[in-house]
Amino acid sequence: MTKKTIIEMACAFCIVFTALTLLNTILTLIGLQAHPPVENNISMFIFTFIGTSMLYTQRIFDDWSLLTILLIQYVIALTLIFLTVYVTGLFAIRHPDAYKDAWRSFTIPYVMGAAIYYYYAYKDAQKTNQRLHLLKSKVYDEMGYD
């Protein structure tokens, strides 16, 4: 990973975590959810870090199909989430639906984040392809090819 990618990933993480925290706070203030304990913020921090990190591994799998990349990223991320729930359960009482709640709490924002991430990655690839096509045509014109 380049320094630019790490900085980009850190910025994305900060933006997503801040947005989720604000959304959580607003929902609490207007009474749509109970006051969450501090552990929820820590879990949200960990889940956000895992999700953001997984999306940025896409560059490692550039030669693979998009569906394969998405499935591998999601399975790895979900494994890490469930491992986090398991380890947390070693130190505190775990709710009987902890894994289901963690799955739901992670999957919904992850799918939305992945959709946004891959939309912009697709747009970036289109822009790069247009530049490459323009460069090729410019080179061909200079060399006298049709």
CA-derived radius of gyration, the chain: 20
How far is the C-alpha of 75 from the C-alpha of 126, rounded, in Å?
28
Q: What is the pLDDT of residues 44-91, one digit of tens each?
A: 899 999 999 888 887 777 788 888 888 899 999 999 999 999 998 898
Q: Establish if 81 belongs to a structural domain.
A: yes
Percent of the chain, pLDDT > 90?
20
Q: In the 8-state DSSP scheme, what is residue 132?
A: H
Tell whether the model's pLDDT for residue 141 goes beyond 90: no
How far is the C-alpha of 78 from the C-alpha of 59, rounded, in Å?
19
Q: Establish if 72 belongs to a structural domain.
A: yes
Tell whether the model's pLDDT for residue 43 goes beyond 90: no
Whole-model pTM: value is 0.73
If one counts every other C-beta atom within 10 angstroms of the C-beta of residue 108, the result is 10
Q: Establish if 13 belongs to a structural domain.
A: yes
Q: Establish if 8 belongs to a structural domain.
A: yes
Average pLDDT over residues 30-54: 82
Q: Establish if 130 belongs to a structural domain.
A: no
Q: Establish if 91 belongs to a structural domain.
A: yes
Tell whether the model's pLDDT for residue 120 goes beyond 90: no
Q: Establish if 111 belongs to a structural domain.
A: no
Band of the pLDDT at 146, cuts 50, 70, 90? low
CA-to-CA dists, residue 119 to 44, 60, 124, angstroms: 24, 18, 9
Tell whether the model's pLDDT for residue 118 goes beyond 90: no
Q: Establish if 114 belongs to a structural domain.
A: no
Boundaries of domain holding 54: 3-106
Report the domain count for the chain: 1
